């Protein structure tokens, strides 16, 4: 985001004022940023929404391996591994809430546009992380999106008069972020995007076979050509040593991938 900070003091005061004003004017919200603070800091006690994850990313991958042992090159995990994964997910959930508390403090204390741009990156990271966590974090995700939109709008207006190139880069970044947000709603894509990911690079091929065709194709599009070629080879190798049902599944998935990228299949 270099080049966006040519007028740091002017931009910062504009952003802070805009955040406060927008929070006050936001339909259905309280007239203060504390609305967002509460939403981020508090876990929900109500029934989980349709998009909530019943388990976290690490436990989810344990279940993939337990339910599909023939797809993976290592023994199916036992109950101790499942317990360790749940504990890992719980630590990540606690870290997420702490990180959001820290971000709120930085938001109200920011004095330079550079820090606000860093804040946007942290908000994106938190949103991506939240998509793989256990439980219903829809309120927190809505709060993150609201703050991100407010900060982005203020920065865009401030950059309009003094940094057109920076403003256009910001618009491009937002378009990419919104596309990514849609992808992260699918647990597999959220798990692959996490750092660190619970899915080792060597188990991406097997994990894709565990998912419905629609999810698999969405993930397939996000992989580069070299990785797709590698996975295709791994699937063909697996066909030689697996059950007829799994071999047929691999044939079906290979055909779907060829249909999605016919030029690549013929290269």
pLDDT class of 166 with cuts at 50, 70, 90:
confident
Mean pLDDT of the chain: 79
User: Is 68 within a domain?
Assistant: yes
b/e for 34-61, b at 16 or more Cβ within 10 A? ebbbebbeeeeeeeeeeeebebbbbbbb
Q: At what angle do helices 79-109 and 138-160 cross, to 10 degrees?
A: 40
User: Is 156 within a domain?
Assistant: yes
User: If you average pLDDT over each of 7-11, 158-162, 237-241, which comes out highest?
Assistant: 237-241
**Domain ends where: 154, 185, 216?**
185
One domain, residues 46 and 111: yes
One domain, residues 177 and 206: no
User: Is 1 within a domain?
Assistant: no
**Domain ends where: 159, 185, 211?**
185
One domain, residues 177 and 208: no
User: Is 180 within a domain?
Assistant: yes
One domain, residues 108 and 228: no
SS (H, E, C) the chain: CCCCCCCHHHHHHHHHHHHHHHHHHCCCCCCCCHHHHHHHHCCCCCCCCCCCECCCHHHHHHHHHHHCHHHCCCCCCCHHHHHHHHHHHHHHHHHHHHHHHHHHHHHHHCCCHHHHHHHHHHHHHHHHHHCCCCECCHHHHHHHHHHHHHHHHHHHHHHHCCCHHHHHHHHHHHHHHHHHHHHHCCHHHHHHHCCCCCCCHHHHHHHHHCCCHHHHHHHHHHCCHHHHHHHHHHHHHHHCCCCHHHHHHHHHHHHHHHHHCHHHHCC
One domain, residues 224 and 157: no
User: Is 78 within a domain?
Assistant: yes
One domain, residues 156 and 28: yes
User: Is 36 within a domain?
Assistant: yes
One domain, residues 153 and 249: no
One domain, residues 167 and 205: no
One domain, residues 45 and 174: yes
What is Dmax (Cα atoms) for the chain?
Answer: 66
pLDDT class of 109 with cuts at 50, 70, 90:
low
**Domain ends where: 185, 220, 244?**
185
User: Is 14 within a domain?
Assistant: yes
pLDDT in tens, 16-75: 454 445 444 443 333 334 444 444 444 444 445 555 678 999 999 999 999 999 999 899
One domain, residues 98 and 50: yes
pLDDT in tens, 66-94: 999 999 989 999 999 999 999 999 999 99
Counted domains in the chain: 2
One domain, residues 257 and 160: no
Give pLDDT, residue 156: 75
Structural domain span for residue 231: 201-265
One domain, residues 37 and 113: yes
User: Is 192 within a domain?
Assistant: no
pTM above 0.85, yes or no: no
């Amino acid at each position: 985001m270099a080049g966006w900070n040519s007028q740091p003091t002017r931009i910062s005061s504009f952003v802070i004022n805009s955040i406060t004003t927008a929070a006050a004017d936001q339909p259905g919200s309280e007239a203060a940023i504390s609305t967002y603070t509460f939403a981020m800091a508090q876990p929900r006690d109500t029934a989980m929404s349709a998009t909530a994850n019943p388990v976290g990313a690490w436990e989810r991958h344990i279940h993939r391996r337990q339910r599909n042992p023939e797809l993976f090159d290592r023994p199916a995990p036992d109950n101790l591994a499942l317990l360790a994964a749940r504990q890992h997910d719980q630590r990540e959930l606690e870290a997420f809430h702490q990180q959001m508390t820290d971000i709120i403090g930085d938001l109200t204390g920011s004095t330079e546009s550079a820090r606000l741009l860093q804040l946007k990156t942290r908000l994106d990271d938190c949103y991506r992380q939240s998509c793989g966590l256990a439980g219903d974090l829809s309120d927190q995700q809505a709060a993150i999106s609201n703050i991100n939109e407010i900060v982005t709008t203020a920065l865009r207006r401030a950059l309009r008069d003094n940094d057109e190139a920076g403003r256009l880069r910001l618009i491009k970044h937002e378009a990419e972020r919104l596309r990514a947000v849609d992808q992260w709603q699918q647990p597999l894509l959220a798990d692959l995007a996490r750092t660190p990911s619970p899915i080792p690079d060597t188990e991406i091929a097997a994990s894709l076979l565990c998912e419905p065709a629609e999810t698999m194709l969405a993930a397939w599009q996000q992989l580069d050509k070299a990785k797709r070629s590698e996975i295709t080879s791994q699937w063909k190798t697996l066909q030689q040593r697996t059950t007829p049902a799994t071999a047929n599944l691999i044939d079906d998935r290979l055909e779907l991938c060829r249909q999605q990228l016919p030029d690549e299949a013929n290269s």
